[in-house]
Structure 1
């Protein structure tokens, strides 16, 4: 692994890279509460085929972390990564997990000339996910933590007692515990950077997603511009079926927005499939990219 920085729209972003820069690039986008180092389990299994590039996204790790919720809208987050792709060899393959999937979908939908193939690992397209959040059913119940994370005091609560509550959320609330003590210390180091946890949470606060109450479906949902939310490129969805945060209903109807969609399930994994079975996840990616 090689580390460095890239200047994107006048601001510094920290990058990790695996593989020969002469290989086709693979942009790897992490979610919450991770950082670019989250791909250190998976990337070595892909580095013979791709030049893997994993940034700490805005507000995370060692990258630029401006204050203020307004700086974390989807358009700003997508613009960061569009600029980074412009410094690589576009169009390229984009892989996103969790919140990184939201940025990856944004790139594929709004900057399609930059994305040749889209890979999502336990992440969701905005329309099926919003539909499930508003329905008042199982996904609505599973996503109630979003309201907690949006609270202005969430960073203080999650960081208390050496990040005790954030550790519980990360290691136990979303699936099986996969983390070693040393890896936990690596995450704590990133979370403890000044102001960083609050800027990470701004991704939730800036999101326009509307969350219903369990058993109380929302009937006042705005109509989304579906014609603008289509994925024109080939799309691979890799799924950990034991995910406690994202349920199968969160991807129902995805084919309507991604006509060239392939679904692959990795048995025995959950939200953290890229840590739990990186070889199997890598093989799914290698098999699919060989055919597309």
Structure 2
């Protein structure tokens, strides 16, 4: 049995919770979760990889067991989430690592890579967008409208994403065998985003999501310049970030490994854990066993 440690660190005055497992000094892997969950989404993945890798999975600021400063005195943005995540990795002494990104974790991971390009040695994207191709219009139209014009009507449209039905839909839509998904996932996520103060935090992040696509050209330039090893393992039934978002990586990274998982949805780990573990272990093993550049 691999031990998983559940720890806290103080970063810029904020308490940050994180899961950590695996030998210190082994190749490092940082797991960055999406909305509306936390590092809990990696509860099974962490021990499955920690025999060979040093795995760190934080709850991002505002999520899970991490601090959630009031929107009255804190400017919520993806820049802020990346700032705190970078501070945690610095405290843990992680100078070189692979990133596994999903949903909100993707724009946080892209900011880490653009701020310190030499730190990120490999990328695993599991339904984490980096191209306009991946945005499914029916899902994203209300988000873009709210970002452009945060009127009460536009706010009401995106506030629906905080509801239990919408969160359940994220977990079950596109999943061929929905009874493989633990109902505790969406009920726990809903409870956490329903805590006092959370609505304003999440609405601020919905508005700020529009700052992410403008980063893509710089990200694509980094892809082309470095040819960073990349695995896209993607639930083919995701109607938030569609399969076109996975295929698009090959535009700048011709050697990208792209695996569309039939019968999988947005939260692929809940229904296809063994598939993802096999893909990730194989990919990271190839990355770390390849001969060093001359």
- TM-score between both structures, scaled by the size of structure 2: 0.78
Shift of the 228–120 alpha-carbon distance from structure 1 to 2, 3 Å rule, reads closer
Give the structure 2 partner of residue 234 of structure 1: 229
Within the alignment, does 1:247 sit opposite 2:242 as a pair?
yes
- Could you tell me how far apart the structure 2 residues matched to 1:145 and 1:202 are? 14
What does residue range 8-157 of structure 1 map to in structure 2 within 5 Å? 8-68=11-71, 71-86=75-90, 87-125=92-130, 128-129=131-132, 139-146=136-143, 151-153=154-156
Kept after mapping to 1: 8 A contact 2:28/2:98:
yes
CA apart distance, 1:119: 1.0
Corresponding residue pairs, total? 271
Within the alignment, does 1:281 sit opposite 2:273 as a pair?
no
Bigger mean CA deviation after superposition, 257-266 or 98-107? 257-266
What does residue range 133-212 of structure 1 map to in structure 2 within 5 Å? 139-146=136-143, 151-153=154-156, 163-173=163-173, 175=175, 177=178, 178-208=180-210
For structure 1, list consecutive stretches of 5 or more residues without a partner in the other structure. Answer: 134-138, 212-221
- Could you tell me how far apart the structure 1 residues matched to 2:187 and 2:234 are? 27
CA apart distance, 1:64: 2.3
Kept after mapping to 2: 8 A contact 1:14/1:56:
yes
CA apart distance, 1:94: 0.9
For structure 2, list consecutive stretches of 5 or more residues without a partner in the other structure. Answer: 148-153, 288-294
Residues 227-281 of structure 1: per-residue CA shift (max 9 Å, x gap):
7752332221111111122223334543344455221233321211122111110
CA apart distance, 1:205: 1.3
CA apart distance, 1:148: 8.4
Residues 195-243 of structure 1: per-residue CA shift (max 9 Å, x gap):
23432343221122599xxxxxxxxxx8975477523322211111111
Bigger mean CA deviation after superposition, 267-276 or 92-101? 267-276
Bigger mean CA deviation after superposition, 72-81 or 257-266? 257-266
Shift of the 283–37 alpha-carbon distance from structure 1 to 2, 3 Å rule, reads same
- Could you tell me how far apart the structure 2 residues matched to 1:109 and 1:256 are? 19
Give the structure 2 partner of residue 216 of structure 1: none
CA apart distance, 1:32: 0.7
Could you say what secondary structure the match of 2:270 adopts?
helix
Shift of the 223–166 alpha-carbon distance from structure 1 to 2, 3 Å rule, reads closer
Could you say what secondary structure the match of 1:208 adopts?
helix
Choose from 261, 269, 272 the match for 2:267: 272
CA apart distance, 1:113: 2.2
Q: CA RMSD in A?
A: 3.1
Kept after mapping to 1: 8 A contact 2:127/2:266:
yes
- TM-score between both structures, scaled by the size of structure 1: 0.79
